[in-house]
Amino acid sequence: MTLLLAALREMRATRTKQEAISYIQAQGWFDLRPEDWKPLDSQAEPRWHTMIAWARMDCVHRDLMFHHDENDHWEITRKGLDKFEQLRSRFSREELDVRRCYLWSCAFKKFMNPTYEPSERDHTRPDDIVFD
């Protein structure tokens, strides 16, 4: 959810799913692995695209994104902007630790906490993580 909120904040304005995903990929924010490009059994798109879509649903349910009646309109709410800024501030002050966020790339960790430097203290994604 944080990756998605960050992307929508940075892009400003209503976007499509593909625009949001393309932005996240262009920024190199998701720590993509080969398995992330494989679709889930019930989907045709890469699993990380599905994960972003699930994040959108969670954001809509929490009023962090608008639920537009039109298809494919992704837009962050004022509450979503505020929540993202609170999170980013907490990561910057190291109240929250970007090293624990194993789906985030080093670039996104640095975006969330400008003092971040990769180290052996970074958590790694478990090999047995299942998104099915």
* 59 vs 72, residue with greater confidence: 59
Per domain, the residue ranges of the chain are 2-112
Query: Tens of pLDDT along 79-104?
Result: 999 999 999 999 999 999 999 999 99
- Predicted confidence band at 10 (pLDDT cuts at 50, 70, 90)? very high
What per-residue confidence (pLDDT) applies to 130? Answer: 60
What per-residue confidence (pLDDT) applies to 41? Answer: 85
For the chain, the three-class secondary structure string (H helix, E strand, C coil) is CHHHHHHHHHHCCCECHHHHHHHHHHHCCECCCHHHHCECCCCCCEHHHHHHHHHHHHHHHCCCECCCCCCCCECECHHHHHHHHHHHHHHHCCCCCHHHCCCECHHHHHHHCCCCCCCCCCCCCCCCCCCC
Percent of the chain with pLDDT over 70: 95
Question: Does the domain made of 2-112 have the CATH classification 1.10.10?
Answer: yes
What per-residue confidence (pLDDT) applies to 129? Answer: 67
Query: Tens of pLDDT along 22-55?
Result: 999 999 999 999 999 999 888 899 999 999 999 9
